[in-house]
Amino acid sequence: MADLTALGAALGSRFDTGMRRAERMHGGDLSEVLSVELEDGRRLVAKAGPLVSREAAMLTAIAAAGAPAPAVLGVADDFLFLEYLEETHGSEAGWRALGSALRGLHEQRGETYGWPDDYAFGTVAIANATAVSWPDFWAERRLLPFLRHLPADLADRVETLCDRLNDILPAAPPPALLHGDLWTGNVLFGPGGRAWLIDPACYFGDAEVDLAMLTLFGQPGRSFWESYGPLSPGSGPRRAAYQLWPALVHLRLFGEGYRSLVSSRLDALGV
């Protein structure tokens, strides 16, 4: 568990009260998340990590776009303090709420692709320097950085794909505000059919990136798609290209068990 002495000091500096108890919450593969009860009875969530100030800025941007996200209560040292939200299982109403929220998020537009700060998933750096061409951004910021970490056969196939991205991806899709890591574990469903976006890795890019990630490990229900609205024609090849990046992240972080996922995405793209 996180250093409770450090956590207590950070809470005291931010909320002017002590900590009654802290319990580890589920999830947190790459960072530790704690449910905290303060001595004055308030309950909140504490997240520990070196980039919590950047996550706070992303959550603030999501909320400013009108999409539901836990309120940022403050940052102190290496701790991010968030509103505590009651969690339930996903329901049809919850998926419908997520579809509407995600459509609203994607309607928030940037001037170009990227984000003001780089980010990371654990030891995997995420470069977010801006680019004018979307295929260039996807190749140079998302796929090519993995080449030196891949077996030679996979590296060759990824490099071949990057040479073909101009034929697969749109040159200049609207730069939509993306959650950036939108698998179902980063959606918190709550009572009354509510859904909040958590654990973002935001940047501006093609809206289909979030949809591709959301369908990599499962399939949202019909109510989600009805609520989100129509997609551009021919999304299949684009989806495989967008799913390749999280597949590469998983391979690097969690090992050979994800090699087949990477290979299947490349197979789908014909490389």
pLDDT digits (tens, 9 = 90+) for 179-222: 999 999 999 999 999 999 999 999 999 999 999 999 999 889 89
Strand pairing class (176-178; 194-197): unpaired
99 and 126 co-located in one domain: yes
Of 200, 205, 199, the residue nearest 176 (C-alpha): 205
Domain boundary among 57, 83, 109: 83
62 and 99 co-located in one domain: no
Can you tell me the distance from the alpha carbon of 48 to that of 32, in angstroms, rounded to the nearest whole number?
6
194 and 259 co-located in one domain: yes
Q: How far is CA 45 from CA 80, 81, 181, in A?
A: 8, 6, 20
99 and 185 co-located in one domain: yes
Return the amino acid letter for 267: D
Domain boundary among 24, 54, 83: 83
Can you tell me the distance from the alpha carbon of 230 to that of 82, in angstroms, rounded to the nearest whole number?
33
pLDDT of residue 1: 58
Write the CATH number for 51: 3.30.200.20
138 and 25 co-located in one domain: no
Among the options 40, 78, 167, 181, which is catalytic?
Answer: 181
Domain count, the chain: 2
pLDDT of residue 27: 59
Write out the H or E segment, with its range, that includes residue 21: strand 19-24
Q: How far is CA 158 from CA 7, 164, 215, 232, in A?
A: 42, 10, 21, 25
pLDDT of residue 25: 86
pLDDT of residue 29: 58
Residue 181: how many other CB atoms lie within 10 Å: 21
Query: Cα-Cα-Cα-Cα dihedral of 243, 140, 114, 83, to 10°?
Result: 50
| 3-state SS, residue 260 | helix
In 72-208 the beta strands, taken as DSSP E runs, fall at: 72-76, 79-83, 119-121, 124-126, 176-178, 187-190, 194-197, 203-205
pLDDT of residue 236: 83
104 and 231 co-located in one domain: yes
Residues of the chain with pLDDT under 70: 1, 27-30
112 and 195 co-located in one domain: yes
69-96 pLDDT, tens digit each: 999 999 998 999 999 999 988 789 999 9
pLDDT of residue 89: 84
Domain boundary among 53, 83, 113: 83
Range of the domain at 226: 92-268
138 and 63 co-located in one domain: no
Of 113, 85, 142, the residue nearest 205 (C-alpha): 113
153 and 204 co-located in one domain: yes
226 and 98 co-located in one domain: yes
Told to judge if 181 belongs to the known catalytic residues of this protein, a careful annotator would answer: yes
Write the CATH number for 119: 3.90.1200.10
212, 239 contact by CB (below 8 A): yes
136 and 254 co-located in one domain: yes
End-to-end alpha carbon distance in the chain = 44
146 and 244 co-located in one domain: yes
DSSP class of residue 90?
-
